[in-house]
């Protein structure tokens, strides 16, 4: 079959034709799919929605005509990007797709733009069930296939990674897009400290960008700020990608999104995967930036699976989340693998050696991070984990006893507790206990920082909280809600849907009984934020 894909979520008016054989997965090459793109370039500042829509209206007919002229045969279906993206641009593309499908009398396929970023990588790599890091202008998140959908394992809590970088470059006075200019300037820079904000597998860029602007205004050379922005932002993304691999047990990672064209980001991800024995794949640049090729590839798979829509079902959605898509074109294994208890385990940031009565946790240097940043994080997290583990225990929350701390070697020795992770033994009753434990911590101003199903140990009828390395003190309801959000995200990404909802209801009931109801109200706000515009 031949699929015409049309992309127009923001700046790129693009059309592509992909020849696809469902029985013989079609390789990607220079001629298949054929891609024709006309990108909008603002005269100043960032993307202006009205100007982008005007460009889309002018360019879409031309790129479609060019792609169709290059097609070697008739078109069997029309696929288009339904969202997420800029509403005015999406509506132009949706209208063009409906009209063309009607004219050709072929099926219509509505594609989620972010899932397309993942699928083009999975298709090109030949991976079975990878974790995907999507790093684009308006988005930044980690996805993994589980229980019929692509689950969001972690995401930005404020702005997309590309938009964050663009905010800094606009402040400096550079034209759009800012990413390539930061990459070029960074080649001559040196490292300076900037805020590093990771909350489990979620992350935030707002404070980092404010600090970068302040550093530039105070006279720090722009090359140094650019170098440090890359080292900090991309280390954050690489860390959360490794954390997602650790949570799910996956050994495959794919990269998606326009920011993925950055050489330093690809280098960091490749190094991290090599160090933990995982496979890494980054598509060619023409599939990383916004393009209709990925829309056509996913559209072909959806069409082959019968996932077509009627004109009445084809309304665009500027906030179309990837986890809202029912993934009918896949029925293979979940990205989440049942954890296996071994005497040595490699987590997201440490190697844990299990002995008869104790565990030794070593935060080994991360080769992908800048040495100064890496040393700071290893030191700070070792100290935080030792202090908060002991403090939580004094407050009545079960944790392992800390026997020894070696800050210089970033090593902790703790009592061995439990015989399995909560990931292997989740029940509503245990989820309820975890909710109560977090509420107890929050009531005394302790934020765990990474309370996933892998950081709760089960044994002797108790639920122990472990790994406080990302923890800190805070009495703010937002920080407490984020702790709950991290736990709930880890459940949704690794547990069957029906079991997950029962467990999460119990978790929130346990939290409500012991904690502040305002935290759960804020949790609903966190879940509903529009981070996909």
Active site residues: 450
- Per-residue CA distances from 107 to 82, 99, 102, 158, 311 (Å): 15, 11, 8, 37, 10
Peptide bond into 84 cis (omega under 30): yes
Cα–Cα nearest to 318, from 97, 144, 157, 93: 93
Rounded Cα gap, residues 393 and 408, in angstroms: 24
Peptide bond into 33 cis (omega under 30): yes
Rounded Cα gap, residues 72 and 58, in angstroms: 25
| Spatial CB neighbours of 140, under 8 Å, sequence gap ≥ 6 | 134, 155, 156, 160, 161, 203, 205, 237, 257, 259
Name the helix (H) or strand (E) containing 123. Answer: helix 113-125
β-strand partners of 12 = 39
Rounded Cα gap, residues 457 and 418, in angstroms: 5
Rounded Cα gap, residues 210 and 103, in angstroms: 50
Cα–Cα nearest to 104, from 76, 144, 84, 146: 76
The three-class DSSP label of residue 433 is helix
Rounded Cα gap, residues 388 and 398, in angstroms: 12
Q: What is the DSSP string of 69-84?
A: HH-SS---EEEEEEES
The three-class DSSP label of residue 261 is helix
Phi, psi of 382 (to 5 degrees): -65, -45
Phi, psi of 530 (to 5 degrees): -85, 80
Rounded Cα gap, residues 436 and 396, in angstroms: 11
Q: What is the DSSP string of 209-253?
A: HHHHHHHHHTT--HHHHHHHHHHHHHHHHHHHHHHHHHHH---EE
């Amino acid at each position: 079959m031949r699929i015409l894909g049309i992309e127009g979520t923001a700046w790129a008016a693009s059309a592509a034709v992909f020849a696809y054989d469902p029985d013989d997965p079609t390789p990607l090459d220079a001629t298949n799919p054929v891609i024709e793109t006309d990108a909008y370039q603002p005269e100043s500042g960032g993307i202006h929605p009205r100007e982008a829509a005007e460009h889309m209206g002018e360019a879409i007919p031309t790129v479609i005509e060019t792609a169709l002229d290059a097609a070697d045969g008739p078109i069997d279906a029309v696929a288009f990007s339904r969202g997420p993206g800029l509403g005015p641009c999406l509506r132009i593309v949706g209208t063009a797709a409906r009209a063309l499908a009607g004219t050709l009398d072929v099926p219509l396929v509505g594609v989620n733009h972010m899932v397309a970023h993942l699928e083009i990588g999975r298709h090109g790599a030949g991976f079975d069930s990878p974790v995907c890091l999507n790093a684009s202008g308006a988005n930044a998140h980690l996805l993994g296939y589980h229980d019929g959908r692509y689950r969001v394992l972690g995401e930005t809590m404020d702005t997309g990674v590309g938009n964050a970088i663009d905010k800094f470059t606009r402040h400096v006075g550079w034209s759009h897009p800012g990413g390539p200019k930061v990459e070029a300037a960074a080649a001559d820079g040196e490292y300076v400290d900037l805020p590093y904000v990771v909350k489990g597998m979620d992350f935030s860029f707002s404070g980092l960008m404010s600090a970068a602007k302040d550093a530039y205004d105070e006279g720090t050379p722009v090359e140094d700020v650019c170098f440090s922005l890359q080292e900090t932002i991309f280390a954050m993304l690489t860390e959360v990608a490794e954390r997602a691999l650790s949570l799910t047990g996956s050994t495959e990672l794919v990269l998606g999104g326009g920011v993925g064209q950055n050489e330093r980001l690809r280098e960091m991800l490749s190094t991290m995967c090599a160090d933990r024995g995982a496979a890494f794949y980054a598509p060619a640049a023409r599939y990383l930036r916004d393009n209709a090729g990925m829309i056509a590839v996913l559209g072909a798979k959806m069409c082959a699976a019968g996932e077509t829509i009627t004109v009445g079902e084809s309304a665009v959605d500027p906030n179309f989340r990837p986890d809202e898509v029912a993934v009918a074109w896949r029925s293979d294994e979940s990205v989440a693998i049942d954890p296996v208890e071994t005497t040595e385990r490699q987590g997201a940031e440490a190697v844990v050696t299990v002995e008869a009565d104790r565990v030794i946790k070593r935060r080994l240097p991360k080769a992908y991070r800048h040495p100064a940043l890496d040393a700071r994080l290893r030191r700070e997290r070792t100290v935080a984990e030792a202090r908060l583990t002991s403090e939580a225990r004094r407050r009545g929350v079960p944790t392992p006893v800390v026997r020894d701390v070696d800050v210089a070697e970033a090593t902790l020795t703790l009592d061995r507790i439990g015989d399995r992770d909560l990931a292997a033994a989740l029940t509503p009753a245990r989820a309820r206990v975890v909710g109560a434990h977090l509420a107890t911590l929050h009531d005394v101003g302790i934020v765990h920082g990474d309370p996933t199903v892998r950081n709760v140990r089960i044994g002797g009828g108790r639920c122990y909280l472990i790994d406080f390395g990302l923890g800190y003190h805070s009495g703010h309801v937002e920080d407490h809600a984020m702790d709950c959000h991290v736990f709930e995200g880890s459940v949704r990404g690794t547990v069957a849907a029906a079991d997950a909802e029962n467990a999460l209801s119990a978790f929130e009931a346990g939290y409500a009984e012991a904690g502040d109801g305002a935290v759960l109200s804020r949790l609903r706000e966190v879940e509903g934020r529009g981070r996909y515009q």
